[in-house]
């Protein structure tokens, strides 16, 4: 492992660019089949040891703003975008600093992480499947793009991904409440994560009640539904035909982390590692997989006829110093698995897959509308996983013809996302705002402060409306020679906006939220306006809204049925380049409303099968037949 001089000399069967979730799964599958796999990771690999993990926990504890990237050390040579790089302006609008260059009307307000493990280190761990309708939004609902494959094509791979990630869930409930098809008798590897007390309060007050998006529109019946998680729960004894399931614990510490203990910090870091991260898959890689970290792939190399033949990469020692050595590595298959935005950047830099003019386009996320309030009694925020249930009734249906559909996540982290609770509550009650130039209030002290915080924070809850964003060619990643990072590689230039369809979805979501708050008899504290903490502020039909990014970047090397209109084929192979795959959420033509990691994992496993076949065909022993000797010749 990590022997670059050796890596530089050897020829591999497969090079995987990026040691995140998709890349780690592809490397696992192909390594298990005996293929020699080189994984090149731009970031560092300090988190796969227990001391490295403890260091990340300390960095997290020390961070004043506990954002998704806060446990992970900044890397000047392989920089990551951070949500703290985007800020709002007092009168509306935003400014962006840091790695991503932003040129859109609205900010792409999401991050990712360049390190071994990737963004899968700080994901929330929710693993709902996409709805069958999500694969055919153009033909069924008249917007966006259709997938060239459907739910049925992906279903066995969903099951494979649920095994690899170790998913806890209730398949019968998913089928009944959402209409997701499962094979007869299927159970998840582990039983569902127990619902939070807050979920149960919401279920008691909401289940069976109907709401309307606006007067005259159809009624939608509310039901609180447990969310599948890649988080260790109780193994299901019926799994795998009664063979059961053994939870995978922490990487680097045996017999630890085999059960979620409720740290309430799934994002940005699970101290127990009860949540799946790609480090668990990496720990199970065969010896045929070689990981080289601190290796920034700068270009994909092709032969004269366009076939992938390897990559050029820059290897560095010190993440703070722009000194690197350029190397090349060769293989029969190159798999780009470096995140939607990085994959697009690499294709653009390498001037590959240009035929359809779709590389970098169709950038999507799940823009999130938050609403928040106080219940009339304590509900136990900041206990357990960040979310254990949701309301799934708005994920598809007739309303989808006119506005974006959405999934409602019941957030168990108080107002931490919308307002920065409880730190912001302490500061507010002390009379201190975020701006040191602003005049201070008098402030509360002593028992009055303690009581007020207890009364307030204990009753906090929030809803997250995760909107589907459709593929639009104007939302895109480009490169510009004027904007480069320390190693001289182009930085991604992002142009991003929300369509009216998404904005209409948010207006509908707010109307639904108002009715839910009414049924809950909750005090609504939701307030949207411009300001330093609201870069996602916009006005729509005379009303203010603020959206957040979900970190679900997708669409940038879009999959399709035709080489004229898409970048990759249904196997995530670049149409224009045999042997070159681009895997990850970048391939998704639509994102539905489900958190995308499970679907990305399923797609990666499906592509692994195709790569295995491709390599097997390339390596098939050549049978030399002697030509029959014609009669009468010597």
Partner 1 sequence: MIPELDRTALEDESVEVPPPVAGFIDISERLTGFTAFDLYATGMAQLYHDTTVDQVGREAVGRFIDDLAAAGGDPDRLVDETSREIARAVTHLWYLGVWPALARSVHRALGREKANTAFTAAPEAYPEGLVWRTFHGHPPGAKAPGFGTWADPPPGAPPLARPDCPAHGTGGAT
- Nearer to partner 1 by Cβ, of 421 and 478: the residue is 421
- Nearer to partner 1 by Cβ, of 457 and 554: the residue is 457
Smallest distance from partner 1 to CB 121, Å: 13
- Nearer to partner 1 by Cβ, of 149 and 444: the residue is 444
- Nearer to partner 1 by Cβ, of 144 and 456: the residue is 456
- Nearer to partner 1 by Cβ, of 87 and 92: the residue is 87
Paired with 408 in beta bridges are: 391, 465
- Nearer to partner 1 by Cβ, of 201 and 348: the residue is 201
Kindly state the helix (H) or strand (E) to which residue 500 belongs, with its residue range. Answer: helix 500-520
Give CA separation, 171 vs 154, 175, 338, 603, in Å: 16, 6, 31, 20
Smallest distance from partner 1 to CB 290, Å: 33
How far the first Cα of the chain sits from its last, in Å, is: 57
Structure tokens at 321: 């110093």
CA–CA separation, 571 vs 587, rounded Å?
A: 10
Structure tokens at 15: 């090079």
DSSP, residue by residue, 602-628:
HHHHHHHHHHHHHHHHHTPPP--PPPP
Smallest distance from partner 1 to CB 409, Å: 15
Say if CB 181 and CB 155 are below 8 A apart: yes
Say if CB 435 and CB 445 are below 8 A apart: no
Smallest distance from partner 1 to CB 347, Å: 37
Smallest distance from partner 1 to CB 298, Å: 36
Q: Would strands 37-40 and 86-88 be described as parallel, antiparallel, or unpaired?
A: unpaired
Smallest distance from partner 1 to CB 260, Å: 6
- Nearer to partner 1 by Cβ, of 385 and 555: the residue is 385
Directed axis angle between helix 597-618 and helix 151-165, to 10°? 100
Kindly state the helix (H) or strand (E) to which residue 96 belongs, with its residue range. Answer: strand 94-96
Say if CB 372 and CB 460 are below 8 A apart: yes
CA–CA separation, 553 vs 532, rounded Å?
A: 24
Smallest distance from partner 1 to CB 378, Å: 4
Say if CB 344 and CB 354 are below 8 A apart: no
- Nearer to partner 1 by Cβ, of 442 and 633: the residue is 442
Structure tokens at 371: 């609403």
- Nearer to partner 1 by Cβ, of 241 and 436: the residue is 436
Look at residues 513, 595, 589, 509 and name the one whose alpha carbon lies nearest to residue 556. 589
Smallest distance from partner 1 to CB 65, Å: 9
- Nearer to partner 1 by Cβ, of 232 and 290: the residue is 232
Residue 454 CB neighbours (<10 A): 11
DSSP 8-state assignment for residue 492: P
DSSP collapsed to 3 states, 304-348: CCCCEEEEEEEEECCCCCCCEEEEEEEEEEEEECCCHHHHHHHHH
Smallest distance from partner 1 to CB 16, Å: 31
Q: For the stretch 3-12, what's the b/e string if a residue is b when 16 or more beta carbons lie within 10 angstroms of its beta carbon?
A: ebeebeeeeb
**Helices vs strands, H then E, count in the chain:** 15, 22
DSSP 8-state assignment for residue 422: T
CA–CA separation, 336 vs 331, rounded Å?
A: 13
- Nearer to partner 1 by Cβ, of 142 and 443: the residue is 443
- Nearer to partner 1 by Cβ, of 261 and 527: the residue is 261
Smallest distance from partner 1 to CB 377, Å: 5
Smallest distance from partner 1 to CB 496, Å: 30
DSSP, residue by residue, 198-257:
HHHHHHHHHTT-EEESSTTSPEEE--EEEPPBSB--PBPTTHHHHT-------TTSTT--
- Please state the separation of Cα 461 from the chain's center in Å: 23
- Nearer to partner 1 by Cβ, of 419 and 599: the residue is 419
């Amino acid at each position: 492992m990590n022997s670059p001089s050796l890596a530089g000399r050897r020829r591999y069967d497969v090079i995987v660019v990026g040691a995140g979730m998709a890349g780690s799964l592809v490397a696992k599958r192909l390594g298990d089949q005996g293929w020699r796999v080189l994984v090149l990771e731009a970031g560092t690999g300090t988190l796969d040891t227990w001391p490295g993990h403890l260091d990340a926990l300390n960095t997290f504890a020390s961070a004043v703003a506990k954002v998704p990237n806060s446990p992970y050390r900044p890397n000047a040579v392989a920089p990551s975008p951070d949500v703290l790089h985007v800020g709002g302006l007092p009168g509306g609008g935003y400014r962006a600093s840091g790695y991503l260059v932003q040129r859109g009307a609205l900010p792409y307000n999401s991050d990712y992480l360049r390190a071994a493990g990737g963004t899968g280190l700080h994901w929330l761990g929710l693993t709902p499947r996409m709805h069958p309708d999500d694969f055919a939004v153009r033909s069924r609902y008249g917007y966006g793009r259709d997938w060239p494959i459907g739910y049925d094509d992906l279903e066995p791979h969903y099951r494979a991904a649920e095994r690899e990630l170790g998913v806890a869930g209730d398949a019968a409930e998913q089928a009944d409440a959402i209409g997701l098809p499962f094979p007869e008798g299927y159970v998840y590897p582990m039983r569902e994560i127990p619902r939070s007390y807050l979920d149960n309060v919401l279920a008691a007050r909401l289940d069976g009640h109907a709401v309307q998006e606006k007067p005259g529109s159809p009624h939608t019946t509310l039901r609180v539904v447990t969310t599948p998680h890649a988080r260790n729960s109780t193994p299901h004894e019926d799994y795998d035909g009664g063979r059961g399931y053994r939870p995978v614990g922490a990487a680097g510490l045996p017999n630890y982390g085999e059960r979620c203990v409720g740290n309430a910090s799934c994002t940005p870091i699970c101290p127990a590692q009860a949540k799946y991260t790609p480090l668990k898959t990496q720990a199970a890689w065969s010896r045929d997989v070689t990981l080289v970290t601190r290796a920034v792939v700068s270009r994909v190399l092709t032969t004269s006829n366009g076939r992938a033949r390897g990559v050029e990469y820059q290897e560095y020692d010190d993440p703070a110093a722009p000194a690197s050595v350029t190397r090349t590595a060769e293989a029969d298959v190159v798999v780009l698995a470096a995140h939607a935005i990085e994959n697009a950047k690499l294709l653009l830099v390498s001037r590959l897959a240009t035929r359809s003019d779709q590389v970098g386009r169709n950038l999507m996320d799940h823009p999130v509308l938050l609403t928040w309030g106080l219940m009339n009694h304590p509900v136990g925020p900041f206990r357990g996983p960040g979310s254990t249930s949701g309301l799934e009734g708005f994920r598809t249906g007739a309303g989808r013809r006119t506005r974006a559909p959405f999934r409602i996540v019941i957030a168990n982290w108080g107002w931490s996302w919308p307002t920065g609770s409880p730190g912001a509550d302490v500061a507010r009650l002390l009379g201190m705002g975020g701006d040191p130039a602003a005049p201070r209030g008098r402030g509360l002290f002593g028992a009055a402060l303690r009581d007020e915080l207890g009364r307030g924070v204990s009753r906090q809850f929030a809803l997250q409306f995760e909107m589907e964003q459709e593929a639009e060619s104007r939302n895109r990643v480009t490169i510009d020679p004027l904007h480069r990072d320390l190693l001289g590689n182009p930085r991604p230039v992002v142009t991003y906006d929300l369509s009216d369809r998404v904005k209409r979805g948010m207006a509908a979501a707010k109307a639904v939220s108002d009715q839910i708050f009414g049924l809950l008899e909750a005090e609504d504290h939701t307030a949207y306006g411009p300001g330093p903490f609201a870069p996602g502020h916009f006005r729509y039909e005379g009303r203010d809204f603020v959206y957040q990014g979900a970190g679900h970047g997708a669409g940038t090397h879009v999959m399709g049925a035709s080489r004229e209109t898409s970048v990759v084929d249904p196997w995530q192979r670049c149409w224009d380049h045999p042997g070159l795959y681009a895997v990850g959420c970048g391939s998704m033509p639509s994102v539905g409303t489900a958190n995308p990691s499970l679907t990305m994992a399923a797609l990666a496993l499906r592509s692994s099968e195709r790569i295995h076949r491709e390599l097997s065909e390339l390596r098939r022993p050549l049978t030399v037949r002697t030509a029959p000797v014609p009669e009468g010749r010597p």
